[in-house]
Structure 1
């Protein structure tokens, strides 16, 4: 499985994903991953240049910045987090939240809709990864308060937002509160059908096949969301994930490729994610 994926990545991936794979699966150094990520950084401390493939163009965006921070965390580097937080302070609303997509976005997927409104999804992703990194910054304090408030008010959601909230709850320091909110979020996810347990259930407005399976909510066994699913549900989901490897060695993605290059950029990303999840659950060594 890993050998086939390695061949796929060398044939198809960006340098960033090639360096990331080398670090995660071949014992490669962290420095080349960091250097590759920094190529996407702007002078304002944020990240752009299609680091997250669906947002094209050079401008700094919240989702690009989250992706950069996630990659830094993955290789154990925190040096550039403060500059990213400084950028986030320039786009944060009075309530502590940040928009999902800024009006400065250039060419972008149709689902990237600029708005000035604070967005729980992207704010929770950013706050979660910064807590995981152990960062202390004034931006994070206000963002954490925003996430707690919006989580407490949440009565209806969608899979991507619920998944972002799960990531926030995995790493926010107040563990008793996180445990309580995770139980409530679990009930919401299951009652509103926001998880595909093998029946192909999808949320209204999503593309056919674009569903969230248990491993999306619980990419590692130590996630709070692992408790949301029975062992047989997880096992069946991981079987399906492993079976999703294509003949060329890579995995594919279910959402629309709105411009051809995103197919080639997203597939290596989801391939590394699939391998990482399977390894976390001891399906591969």
Structure 2
């Protein structure tokens, strides 16, 4: 990535990004105190402990949702910081809405009262590996201990040992779990089958020139030292890095390939995607 491309992306985030992405950028690239990321997240946390208010911008709902908790945990992980009270309250909330086995859904019918993307519908109300495995994996990454995490981890093991998911989003969540769960021997046993299932996944975008929406190898292996980097040939990774560099827009940001519910949501997601692109390209020295 050229200096000009980086500075253009930086200006896009400064100009169009939300406070959270601006503070994450400052933390990741300018040495800012990561406590600023925690401060930015506080505005999204509800009194019940969950996160809401469009932290994940595809649904602009003030009610707490698991997907928004996941976005908060990812921001903390990216910043390399945690806040015990904030995270414990979020886990308490997850426990309050989980099924008896610990699984949670991405969202609930409450989103129907608020602006949302069309694809956020009934399928998001069913508990599953997406997001339960991703939530559990991120909590393990942060070193959290909580009764809900214990129950959810047991459920994830059971679900994954029954068969790896056939959807790329669910597999991406499962890979976060398998990368960070403490039982490494059990995780390695399941990881041995990941490579075989990749070509069968729905919404997996293997070809760098595929213009459609989907999960790419760089979503699954966002850094060269990722546990999953070994699944992909060097030329495939380089092809996706070249595509990522090429996809930067004249305004400095990256575009998205789906339709959010509003222009504000579109800008929010572009800030999220621009920060992700910078993280990936920087990590790969590209």
After TM superposition, the score normalised by the length of structure 1 is: 0.91
**1:110 correspondence with 2:118:** yes
Note the 1:58-73 alignment, pairs <5 A.
58-73=62-77
Unpaired segments of 5 or more residues in structure 1?
A: 202-207
Distance 1:193 1:187, change over 3 A: farther
**1:93 correspondence with 2:93:** no
Question: What is the rounded CA distance, in whole Å, between the counterparts of 2:45 and 2:266 in structure 1?
Answer: 23
Deviates more, 1:113-122 or 1:71-80: 113-122
Match of 2:254 in 1: 251
Deviations 1:89-135 (A, max 9, x none): 10010121011212332422222235653211100110010000000
Distance 1:200 1:256, change over 3 A: farther
Deviations 1:30-87 (A, max 9, x none): 1222111110110000000001101212100000011111112222123221111000
Deviations 1:132-183 (A, max 9, x none): 0000111001111111111122255111111111111110111122122122
Whether the 8 Å contact between 1:217 and 1:225 is mirrored in structure 2 is yes
| Deviation beyond 6 Å, 4+ runs, structure 1 | none
State the Cα RMSD in Å. 1.7
Give the one of 173, 189, 202 matched to 1:164: 173
Question: What is the rounded CA distance, in whole Å, between the counterparts of 1:15 and 1:281 in structure 2?
Answer: 26
Distance 1:101 1:282, change over 3 A: same
Distance 1:155 1:40, change over 3 A: closer
- Higher-RCO chain (CA-CA 8 Å, sequence separation at least 6): 2
Unpaired segments of 5 or more residues in structure 2?
A: none
Instruction: Report SS of the residue matched to 1:36.
Output: helix
Deviates more, 1:155-164 or 1:268-277: 155-164
**Structure in which a larger fraction of residues adopt helix:** 2
Question: What is the rounded CA distance, in whole Å, between the counterparts of 1:43 and 1:214 in structure 2?
Answer: 38
Deviates more, 1:181-190 or 1:89-98: 181-190
After TM superposition, the score normalised by the length of structure 2 is: 0.91
